[in-house]
């Protein structure tokens, strides 16, 4: 929590410095004409560059909103109820038999029930979801911090990416490459706003939005945020999954890093 506060503070600080830098560069033609003026300007520029690097760094937080900003209707997109028979059976029984599998390059592979996931460190956030199709909605999400989950599983030294395997087949293709999957790197996996959400807008995550567990990755576009997560696999390379580009939509031409 304290590192998070530091990051927010750092965000504000760097914004303020950028602001100062811009302000002082505003009417600066006279100052720049003197040698002390030039050295001041140079140090301001150096500060601005440093501030921008901090501000735009991968660890910066996505904006968070107030309850009053919540979208009255949050659009559901892509799969809204996976056909998979095993999934349908789990859903029919309120996901009491659901187990999230964590394996791959971890010291302690695990199968976790929803109560077990709810007992791990959680975070709640109100954020804006941006879909590549051009719509946005603001929603409130609560879930287990992916970083805490990975820490409890213990990453092996060669771990580099986290692959999310989903229950839904979005495209019927005989070679099995139509199953929804996604991947992110460890920087994003340990970002403080990266959570596996089991609640949305104060209630249990609805089926259309990815029940029982979906990724929230607030610095990237909507298609990165895998719904209906069945299994998390920690890997060194995502080359062997789907058609090798790191995700269902990436295999169909979208960017792997969909930063916003
Ligand atoms: N498993 C799975 N995850 C998915 C999708 C999907 O079809 N299947 N669609 C993606 C896209 S394009 C978007 S915009 C969001 C939609 O999330 P929502 O239904 O909560 O709006 O989920 C993403 N995650
Ligand atoms: Mo999307």
pLDDT in tens, 196-215: 999 999 999 999 999 999 99
Q: Determine the distance separating the centroid of ligand 2 and the alpha carbon of 21, expressed in angstroms.
A: 37
Q: Are residues 154 and 140 in the same domain?
A: yes
Which atom belonging to ligand 1 lies closest to the Cα atom of 170? 7
Domain extent, residue 47, equals 1-56
Ligand 1: which of 71, 169, 223 to mutate, judged by most atoms within 8 Å of the beta carbon? 223
Q: Are residues 181 and 242 in the same domain?
A: yes
> What CATH number corresponds to the domain at position 218?
3.90.420.10
Cα–Cα nearest to 247, from 154, 178, 194:
178
Q: Determine the distance separating the centroid of ligand 1 and the alpha carbon of 78, expressed in angstroms.
A: 5
Domain count, the chain: 2
Q: Determine the distance separating the centroid of ligand 2 and the alpha carbon of 14, expressed in angstroms.
A: 31
Q: Are residues 102 and 158 in the same domain?
A: yes
Q: Are residues 97 and 5 in the same domain?
A: no
Q: Are residues 202 and 103 in the same domain?
A: yes
User: With bands split at pLDDT 50, 70 and 90, how would you rate the model's confidence at 176?
Assistant: confident
Q: Are residues 179 and 100 in the same domain?
A: yes
**Is 259 a member of any domain?**
no
Q: Are residues 37 and 73 in the same domain?
A: no
pLDDT at 7: 46
217 touches ligand 1 (CB under 6 Å): no
**Is 257 a member of any domain?**
no
Q: Are residues 238 and 151 in the same domain?
A: yes
Q: Are residues 79 and 145 in the same domain?
A: yes
**Is 208 a member of any domain?**
yes
**Is 186 a member of any domain?**
yes
Q: Where are the alpha helices (DSSP H) in 58-184?
A: 85-92, 114-118, 146-153
Of the candidates 11, 34, 56, which is a domain's last residue? 56
Cα–Cα nearest to 59, from 106, 22, 9:
9
- Is the distance from CB of 172 to CB of 156 less than 8 angstroms? no
Q: Determine the distance separating the centroid of ligand 2 and the alpha carbon of 76, expressed in angstroms.
A: 9
Cα–Cα nearest to 82, from 199, 208, 237:
208
Ligand 1: which of 78, 134, 204, 231 to mutate, judged by most atoms within 8 Å of the beta carbon? 78
pLDDT digits over 134-172, tens only?
999 999 999 999 999 999 999 999 999 999 999 999 999
Q: Are residues 164 and 210 in the same domain?
A: yes
Q: Are residues 51 and 108 in the same domain?
A: no
| Residue partners of 248: CB distance under 8 A and separation at least 6 | 170, 171, 178, 179, 180, 181, 182, 223, 242
User: With bands split at pLDDT 50, 70 and 90, how would you rate the model's confidence at 45?
Assistant: low
**Is 14 a member of any domain?**
yes
Q: Are residues 115 and 133 in the same domain?
A: yes
% of the chain at pLDDT higher than 70: 78
pTM for the predicted model, two decimal places: 0.83
**Is 260 a member of any domain?**
no
Question: Could you tell me the two tokens for 147?
Answer: 């970083």
> Do the bridges between strand 136-145 and strand 195-200 make them parallel or antiparallel, or are there none, so unpaired?
antiparallel
Q: Determine the distance separating the centroid of ligand 1 and the alpha carbon of 227, expressed in angstroms.
A: 6
> Do the bridges between strand 100-104 and strand 229-235 make them parallel or antiparallel, or are there none, so unpaired?
parallel
**Is 33 a member of any domain?**
yes
């Amino acid at each position: 929590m304290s590192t998070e506060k530091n990051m927010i503070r750092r965000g504000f600080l760097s914004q303020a410095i950028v602001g100062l830098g811009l302000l002082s560069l505003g009417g600066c033609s006279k100052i720049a004409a003197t040698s002390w003026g030039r050295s001041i300007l140079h140090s301001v520029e150096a500060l601005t560059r440093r501030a921008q690097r901090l501000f735009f760094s991968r660890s910066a937080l996505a904006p968070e909103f107030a309850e009053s900003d919540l979208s009255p209707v949050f659009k559901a997109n892509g799969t809204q109820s996976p056909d998979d028979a095993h999934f349908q059976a789990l859903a029919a029984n309120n996901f009491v038999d659901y187990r999230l599998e964590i394996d791959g390059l971890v010291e302690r592979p695990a199968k976790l029930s929803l109560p077990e996931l709810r007992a791990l460190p959680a975070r709640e956030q109100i954020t804006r979801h941006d879909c590549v199709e051009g719509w946005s909605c603001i929603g409130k999400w609560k879930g287990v911090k992916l970083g805490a989950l990975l820490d409890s599983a213990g990453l092996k030294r060669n771990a580099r990416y986290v692959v999310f395997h989903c229950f839904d087949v979005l495209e019927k293709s005989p070679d099995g490459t139509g199953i929804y999957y996604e991947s992110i790197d460890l920087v994003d996996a340990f970002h403080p706003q990266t959570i596996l959400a089991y609640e949305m807008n104060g209630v249990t995550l609805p089926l259309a939005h990815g029940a029982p567990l979906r990724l929230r990755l607030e610095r990237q576009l909507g298609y990165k945020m895998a719904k209906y997560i069945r299994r998390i696999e920690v890997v060194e390379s995502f080359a062997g999954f789907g058609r090798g580009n790191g995700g269902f939509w990436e295999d169909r031409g979208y960017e792997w890093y969909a930063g916003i």
